[in-house]
A and B are shown apart, each in its own frame.
Chain A
Amino acid sequence: MTEAAGGGSAQQPPMNRMVVAVLALLGLLVSLYMLAHAMGLTGEVICGLGDCETVQNSRFAWVGPVPTAAVGTVGYLALMALAILGLQPSIQGSRIVPLGLLLGGVIGVAFSAYLTYLEAFVIHAWCQWCVASALLILLAFLASLPELRRIGGSP
């Protein structure tokens, strides 16, 4: 029997996908909080570290008519759904799941890196929630790396 990347046998749900699902859930919650704030549904952002209001009031908090947090919400939702689907025994061997997780991770890390660059060098302010989101997507991407071994068809 071939050991699945990330640990476990063919029947054992891949541990790394569980980790990605939980990290994506946390990222989704962070994005939803920022989205609720952008839509005026919350009061002042809870911000122990940094200057969240400056970041959230900057023009980069919106991508055209869409709050940046909405982009994160959709991204995390897709990543979470894919990771949970990948835990189902009938889908575990599919190549779509590892490809999707890796591609989602790369896009997410690239987008977060761009937002982090904006915070550091353009807005000159940090938002703890944005930093948390950047860390979560980075961890989710790292947890997706074992999927490289599954792209070839190994479950």
Chain B
Amino acid sequence: MSNGNAGGGLRRFYLIFAIVALVGIGSLGYAVGSKVLGGAVTEPVILEGTDDLRRLTELAVPVVSGEEDAPVTIIVFGDFLCGHCATFSLRIRPLVEAEFVETGQAKLAFYDFPLNPETGTFLAARAARCAGDQGKYWEYHDHLYRTQYTWAMERDKLGFFQSYAEDLDLDSGEFRGCLNSDRHAPEVSANRELAHALGLGGTPSVLVGSGGGMNRRLADYSFETIQAAVHALLGR
């Protein structure tokens, strides 16, 4: 075998090697780049038609606890990094659930209102909804409120929210896939837009209403205030 043939063989090898390397590196670059461009959505997305309040109320999707045909609806707009929202969710909501939701007198509709989305509250709202896809919205929701001072300080919020999913025995692969995407970003964005459109300046904002009538915003989120408002709507 001549040296020329040997050199030619080596050159062919280097050519094939370079092609494989380039294709592989290109694919890796695409995988990393697509995460940067299309990974976990952490801030509100732009929605069409939100200038129209009717359209906005269609786009906004609350998470509802209770019977769909309950006569009264208690609406709560909350932010996962708001201390008063944690108080409402962990202390007041159980009372509301016990007295009105479980008895079928009212249903509770929770709308996300991430006040400062860049602080992780938008991602938290999406994470809770990802947990909801696996039937554990309220468990995750409460977990976020119980630990809000922990994850607020965490830089790797994606990893932290993922660990919460594992704490709640969720399918971690499915949860990661949901969180590392734009899933639920439109609903959370629309809920936030709706809060702004309604002129709600803070959280938690509680409104009550019945049967298609106007919802009335309550002065505070105490159980007594909610109880009085619901009783009034029920004609007591």
Q: Which of A35-43, A110-118, A132-140 contacts B (4 or more CB under 8 A)?
A: A35-43
Residues of B within 8 A of A12 (CB): 1, 5-6, 9
A87 within 8 A of B: yes
A91 within 8 A of B: no
Cβ of A40 and Cβ of B159 under 8 Å apart? yes
Cβ of A40 and Cβ of B158 under 8 Å apart? yes
Cβ-neighbour of A25 out of B10, B17, B31, B162 (below 8 A): B17
- Known contacts A11-B1, A43-B34, A51-B173: does B20 contact A25 (CB below 8 Å)? yes
Bound CA–CA A44/B172 (angstroms): 11
- Known contacts A41-B35, A42-B35, A53-B172: does B156 contact A13 (CB below 8 Å)? no
Cβ of B13 and Cβ of A43 under 8 Å apart? no
> Which of chain A's residues 19-70 have a Cβ closer than 8 Å to chain B?
21-22, 25-26, 29, 32-33, 36, 40-44, 46, 51-54, 57
Bound CA–CA A18/B158 (angstroms): 42
The binding surface of chain B is classed by DSSP as helix
Residues of A within 8 A of B39 (CB): 43
Residues of A within 8 A of B233 (CB): none
Cβ of A11 and Cβ of B3 under 8 Å apart? yes
> Which of chain B's residues 130-149 have a Cβ closer than 8 Å to chain A?
none
**A51 to chain B: closest residue by CB:** B173
> Which of chain B's residues 184-203 have a Cβ closer than 8 Å to chain A?
none
A8 within 8 A of B: yes
Interface residues as binary, B26-48 with A (CB distance below 8 Å gives 1, 0 otherwise): 01100110110011100000000
B176 within 8 A of A: yes
Cβ of A22 and Cβ of B3 under 8 Å apart? no
Cβ of B158 and Cβ of A9 under 8 Å apart? no
Nearest first, the 5 closest Cβ-Cβ pairs linking A and B are A53-B173, A29-B24, A9-B1, A11-B6, A44-B177
A residues lining the B interface (CB < 8 Å):
8-9, 11-13, 18, 21-22, 25-26, 29, 32-33, 36, 40-44, 46, 51-54, 57, 87, 89
